[in-house]
Amino acid sequence: MLGVMVIRLSDDKKPPGPRKEGKGDRQTGLVLDERTRTKKPPMYKVLLHNDDYTTREFVVWVLQSVFHKNETDATAIMSHVHTNGVGIAGVYTFEVAETKVTKTQHLAKAQQFPLQLSIEPTES
Ligand code: TYC
């Protein structure tokens, strides 16, 4: 009598099956292949908080040297934070946001400024 050997293949050893289609783009309605659709990573805001002791000059310098803002944008962000209490220094992936916060905290500590930053997820 002939025997039958069953070989189970784990998913990653199986030949590619029929292409699965995604749920479709929210804006265009286009349905694309799930394996080739590029997913955007979650993004995070780095927030700068106002205080009474950090100099405006230092905040502008940090925004230029750590957050790569030009002088005009850096000055506008600093003024916004000074007036409103909080503002966005930039929007990044989590690791980049964390690195910029850590760098800025070290720079502020070295000058004995109490500058505070925080990270907040974006809506999308
Ligand atoms: N309020 C500070 C001052 O008058 C300036 C300042 C702006 C501090 C923004 C922190 O995140 C800040 N010297």
Q: What is the pLDDT of residues 30-88, one digit of tens each?
A: 676 878 889 999 999 999 999 999 999 999 999 999 999 999 999 999 999 999 999 99
How many Cβ atoms from other residues are within 10 Å of residue 15's Cβ?
5
- Output 55 or 19, whichever has higher pLDDT: 55
One domain for residues 26 and 57: no
What is the Cα–Cα distance from 30 to 37, expressed in whole angstroms? Answer: 11
One domain for residues 69 and 90: yes
One domain for residues 11 and 28: yes
Residues with CB under 6 A from ligand 1: 48-52, 54-56, 59, 78, 81-82, 115
The pTM of this model reads 0.78
| pLDDT of 2 higher than 70 | no
One domain for residues 59 and 14: no
Q: What is the CATH number of the domain that holds 70?
A: 3.30.1390.10
Domain enclosing residue 86, as ranges: 43-121
Q: Residue of the nearest CA to atom 12 in ligand 1? A: 50
